[in-house]
Structure 1
Amino acid sequence: MEPGEVIGGRYRLLSLIGRGAMGIVWLARDEHLDRQVAVKQLLVDGSAWADEAIARAMREGRIAGRLRHPNAIAVYDVTEHQGWPCLVMEYLPSQPLGNRDGLRPRDVAAIGAQLASALAAAHEAGIVHRDIKPDNVLIAEDGTAKITDFGVSRAKGDTSVTATGILAGTPAYLAPEVAKGAEADARSDVYSLGATLYAVIEGQPPFGVDTNAIAMLHRVAGGVMDPPRGAGELTGALMWLLHRDPAARPTMREAQEVLAAAAQGRSVPPPSSKTPTLMLPVRRFSRRRIVIGVGAAALLAAGVVLGVLITGDGSNGSAGATTPTGTPPTPSSACVARMTVGSTWEDGYVASVSVRNDGDEKITGWQLTWTLPANHRIADLWGGTLSQEAGAVTVTNADYNVIIPARGSAEVGLRVEAPGGGDPPEIQCQEQ
């Protein structure tokens, strides 16, 4: 194929856009409709695969052509040129998400919410993508994100044309159950979306990279990943999307909601029926028994509740609450703070604090204070403004959560560097 050639009797090739393992993409002009399009020529590696390659292209066009969504690249037509299958798609001046640097967690969450919206629509139409990764996400000049390349997609009721021994998907972004040989489905798409966003934040996918595909599959199937360190307010949503148990992950529509909330600096509790157990192996953090929290705050999808309920100068907290000296607190504030610890590792943990208003009047400002052990440090905090001097920590409300209505709540999330572990701190909450 060369510039100037006409494909399918109407698509004139203009210039080469890009080349990948599965195909070459050209910029072309649709001479019937006088518009620019992208033509993807699917590469055929030897005549033995020609029939499958053509079947795959036809299938991709048939599946992707069903989907019309502002965050999905539209497929207009499927044709052949000199025996080569070609897809005719929407042309979007853009760059792959994998080429974008310096994005803040909220920016990544906003991109994720757009992609989840398109993928939710695909799932509702019976379409599973199966190859979500940064290079299959295009970012337009105006910031719009679009998912592309449904080349390994599979629709319900459609027979797969993938030959035995050929892997559908990119190993580093597969869900653990798919790496073990299970069939990809909507739940594995959720995981792959989480892995894609994780890679943008952390600089590599959850299980790293390896040029050896078999070694990469073994690593993913093993399921031991490092928790995100720079995800900020996106941490909770990522941990939920990346849950090892497919049944404990959100649906793609729920993923859209929590990602949209993270983009606004908020956290949204997942349904209690889906509150997951711990995704990561729990390493020793403290001498206290860690129990699974049924109603764990949603910022942390891992959801392990330490049962710490402390109030400011003593509030109307739960029965049996005491001060460090063992004496009952004296009620004087409607502000109650409850800490939830999510994933833990040998030298740290991720946690959230739910700030609840148990009073009958709205709270118009609040402040949390606590003391950390000398060797502990808050490395990241979202949902509030942090002041930290030695072990003394003060967190005041953010602008968007300054008001807590009666019986309402707000959330603060944090990542703590905690060498040697230790017991969780006692938190005091005061109205301002």
Structure 2
Amino acid sequence: MRRPLASDWMHLQSLILFVQVDVNHASEIDAIFDSISYDKGASVIRMLQSYLGAERFQKALASYIKKYAYSNAKTEDLWAVLEEETGEPVKDLMTTWTKQQGYPVIYAKLNGQDLELEQAQFLSDGSSGPGMWIVPMTACCGSYDLNKKFLLKGKTDTMHIKDFAATQSGQNFWIKLNIDQTGFYRVKYDDELAAGLENAIKAKKLSLMDMIGIVEDSYALSVACKQTLTSLLRLLNAYRHESDYTILSHVTSVCLSVNKISTDANPDLSSDIKKLLIKLLLLAAKRVGWDPKDGESHLDVMLRSLLLIALVKLGHEETINEGIRRFHIFLEDRKTPLLPPDNRKAAYLAVMRTVSTSNRAGYDVLLKIYKETSEAQEKSRILSSCPDKDIVVEALNLMLTDEVRNQDAFYVLGGISLEGREAAWAWLK
């Protein structure tokens, strides 16, 4: 499985590149170092800062800057100063991250009073790699006040949790590795640990970053066939009562990706999976509704649009019908409060879901609106998907005319529906 985002390709590439590379000539710099290298470099520095502690890291960094002011320094000089100031094996640790491609996945298994850990190189295609890292591990149990830091130096290690978890039991027992996702690695939990985290998610006991990190790790592991789709769906269900926009934006993205993957991989099951995904998002969607509320935050405005669009894409009939109803009111009164700008894309998508070669009225009306409006954002909302293959080809042909600006062509290509992909590919060839 794979997330259908352009940025995801960049993200995956950033994880396999070196951070520290020898440069033999100035002309090589542009080819070796780019935003990808710097992003990975920033991530491993953040991991180091989290492990050492902000205050210790800042003091050591100040000593490094003072020591090498007005002079040249190498990577090893930074590690040497940080190691001297903190007493931690910084050089050995960081060398495994800066001179080695990739990053690890940590397998966590509960065995009585022991937490068994094993690392392996993570590759999105599910294959195995030879990588080995010194991993700065962080863990908390039942509360962020009960936390530990330690180094995973070999392929396997065991963490004794008897005293660490003595006060936790039942649904209060959960262990979260990689606190606040500061470490540059993924975590695969066994079923018992995963169930504990699902309870913690439902009880809203985790930080925002951990709520996001758990679902992102689970999705990536499913993509790499390191865990089952059932495990991912069970985890997603734990977010049913979530209302935070930032968290739900990640959950929604995963839901839409799962929908696309299941449609391709197993069409017979895709309908049932869609129902599960709709059920997951529907509670939050009903809370925000279609109509803006007095005093609501801008995040609620964004959440409304996010959820309505997702439900339309998943084929939720009630949302589609309501979107069409409001669209027809909008045609009569362009200033109607029933369809504010933030909700229009959901309504346009709903209309396009019903368009076909034999029933193209909705498409023609949207095309008219597209030609009338001068607002770039409004144009981008109109250039949306349609399941009818002939309409998809017509929209693609429109992209080659003067009606569509060059900078808006992306929205046509990016809005291709699941049903229209083969027709679009044939057209593109």
TM-score (ref. length: structure 2): 0.30
User: Per residue, is there more helix in 1 or in 2?
Assistant: 2
User: Per residue, is there more strand in 1 or in 2?
Assistant: 1
TM-score (ref. length: structure 1): 0.30
